[in-house]
Amino acid sequence: MSEAPNILFVVVDELTADILPTYGHKVVKAPNLTRLAERSVVFDAAYANSPICCPSRASMMSGRLAPAIEAWDNSTPLGCDVPCIPHFLGNLGYDTTLVGKMHFIGPDQLHGYENRLTTDIYPSDFSWTANAKMPRTAPNIAGVSMRPILDAGPCKRNLQIDYDEEVQLLAEQYIWDKARDRKDKRPFFLTVSYTHPHPPFDAPQPYWDMYEDAEIDLPRVGPIDPDRMDPLSLQLYYNHRRHEMPVAEENVIAARRAYYGMVTWIDERIGRLLDTLEDAGFGDDTVIVFTSDHGEMLGERGMWFKMCMFEYAERVPLFVSWPERFAPRRIRQNVSLVDLLPTFIDFARGKHEEPLPCEETLDGRSLLRFLQSGADANWPDLVISDFNAGGSPAPVRMVKEGAWKLIRIGTLANLLFNIEEDPEELRDRSADKDAEDILARLLSLSEHGGYDPDVIAQRVLLSQERRRLIHTATKARRAPVSWNWKVRPDDDVRFVRGGGPVYGEDPTKARARLPLASYIPEEAEITG
């Protein structure tokens, strides 16, 4: 590549690939993303490197697998000494700007970005630190429960609409400002990161009205009894309070209907963003990359949210559009979000640059050959994903090579599926004689990076203990330490800034909903 293009990196939150028309869904309306996909290289088997926000984003930004950077849960800091996408691109002459969510934890809220135009929607401190020593029936530390499914429906306004409207305004303004800046001629790397369609399942009324209950498809796999669940699914069953908050079919339909409306709502904003890019004169010399940090189970197997290794939680959309250079096509091989950093480096450095410092430490590989020709003879067709947050009974690692997928749950269980033959992941092949060699190979591949679940478990426990001690000490101060990025003076209190059943994610969003949610916990309800 001879000239460094601008890069527009669009990230949404908790969008599973399966429900987009581009991947075959017949109900969801997403015309702008469909239009983008039609002029993109579309990856059919793109995966998150962790099925939860903070570790997934840390892996994506650093090009490293989660254990390599100790990205365990939604309250683990990304080290300020870990090179990230903006560090590499900044060294290659880019103006790097972040608008929206990135879920950085700790005092470094930039990680190489030259500018950050909004606060984050979630807390930057250690308030969501998991505790592996708690019993499996303990509530989720972030305050997550089945309440968003039970309260699903239309709304006029909520916290996520507030946030994404702000992201939209500032992203479009950045593009207009860049177009008329006569002094700074650097190419830009603009990250626009929305929080939709993350739960709660509240669709703005007009977008709710676009769908009818009768057309909402039910999950392809119904609820699975607890006595038939694998160890991870069983622990999540309790962690998400499913044993206390049963979900009826009408709740499932309402939640999925709201989710579809939220997807259409964010699709419309992305369409406006792409139109602004074109109107400002950047259409021909800008690579557009679109993805999500992980998926959403949407009631499949009776499960919601993410935190597991099944396809709905792990497989994400990935489009790369630059019609001036890359012909639209589909790519079937397995890729993952750690592959984005080396790909961005290849976009930025041209043909003749030497390898950058630390580039050889990356776990990802550049997608450039796929983009240019549709093939890469040396591609390993392998992805790895990790989960070590609350709700995990042991370190969990997924390995997918070709059609075969291993879910390794510490020493508790190995699950083996052939995704082409069994896309619903209902037939565990781990005990099949004719799959012994496949299982042995994937177990061997799971040891990448010296992976040992017993060692990982000890590292996770030690990290949790350190963070809980620090968080307890800072809470006791009259002026607690706050690392939330502040643009507006009240950014340290406007969005989700705590954990638990009162100040955590679900209750904070419930209080910000209009009309108000049916259940809003009060401080007196804290029992421990």
- Cα angle for residues 132, 138, 139 (degrees, 5° grid): 110
Query: Is residue 336 helix, strand or coil?
Result: strand
Beta strand 41-47 pairing with 329-336: parallel
Nearest CA among 5, 30, 36 for reference residue 16: 30
- For the chain, how big is the Rg over CA atoms in Å? 22
Collapse the DSSP code of 100 into the 3-class scheme (helix H, G, I; strand E, B; otherwise coil) and give the result.
Answer: strand
Give the residue from 87, 48, 2, 40 showing the smallest Cα distance to 327. Answer: 40
* Token output for 447: 């040891």
Active site residue 103: yes
Out of 103, 111, 196, 198, the active site residue is 103
The one catalytic residue in 53, 54, 84, 308 is 53
Q: From edge to edge, which strands make up the β-sheet containing 382-387?
A: 382-387, 396-401, 404-409, 413-418
* Distance, CA of 416 to CA of 431 (rounded, Å): 9
Distance CA 357, CA 313 (A): 34
Distance (Å, whole) CA 400 – CA 396:
13
8 Å CB contact between 259 and 28: no
List C-alpha distances in Å: 315 to 26, 57, 76, 400, 510.
Answer: 18, 15, 23, 11, 28
Angle (deg, nearest 10), helices 159-179 and 249-279: 10
Look at residue 104 and give its three-state secondary structure.
coil
CA atoms within 13 A on the CB side of 91: 15
Task: Confirm if 222 and 290 have CB atoms less than 8 A apart.
Answer: no
Cis status of the peptide bond prior to 200, with omega within 30 of 0: yes
Distance CA 241, CA 338 (A): 32
445: its two tokens: 């591949």
Dihedral sign from CA coordinates of 234, 240, 242, 247: negative
Q: Which amino acid is at 52?
A: I
Residue positions annotated with a catalytic role? 53, 103
